[in-house]
Structure 1
Amino acid sequence: MPEQDCFAYQRGRCKALTVEKCRGSGCGFFKTAARLAGERQKVFQYIQSLDERKRRHIIDVYYGGNIKLLNGEEGCL
């Protein structure tokens, strides 16, 4: 697949890595926006399945305490 299909390819360059040239589907970070969205959804479902204490810890550490980010509100995720 061409690099333009990767979620991280924006404005002619990779936003995930500091590289001279995008390797397209040969890159270890390559994934489509649809695949990224699916993987995020699985992660959110897993986090929601955890007990309240663990869930709160993850929200505080990785989402700055903003549960709206975890829920995908505000167009963030």
Structure 2
Amino acid sequence: MVDKCFGSNGKNGCNILTVRKCQQDKCSFYKSTQELEEDRKKAYLLLAALPPDMQRYISDKYYNGRMPWVKSNCAV
């Protein structure tokens, strides 16, 4: 179960949260890598639908000027 979570460090720990031990399915942040990819695609679709000036603002603020949603396979 632990190794199936996208945040697993492979040593029963977490790369996302500051916890000593992985809580496995009790963790509200638990997500498989497939679920992470699906959520990311949904977010990219929403970002791609925004006006260009808003996309630029978000890319500058949160993505160091990059727009990964433009090059992804989930274009609008």
Aligned twin of 1:7: 6
Q: Secondary structure at the match of 1:10?
A: coil
Aligned twin of 2:30: 30
Q: Is the 8 A contact 1:59 1:70 kept in 2?
A: no
Q: % of aligned pairs identical?
A: 30
TM-score normalised over the length of structure 1: 0.82
CA root-mean-square deviation: 1.5
Unaligned 5+ segments in structure 1 are: none
Instruction: Report which of the two has the higher share of strand.
Output: 1
Q: Is the 8 A contact 2:14 2:22 kept in 1?
A: yes
Unaligned 5+ segments in structure 2 are: none
Q: Is the 8 A contact 2:2 2:10 kept in 1?
A: no
Aligned twin of 2:42: 42
TM-score normalised over the length of structure 2: 0.83
Deviations 1:16-74 (A, max 9, x none): 1111211101101100000000000000010000011111111111101022x44467x
Q: Point out 4+ residue stretches in structure 1 off by more than 6 angstroms.
A: none
Q: 1:63 to 1:70 in 2, by over 3 A?
A: farther
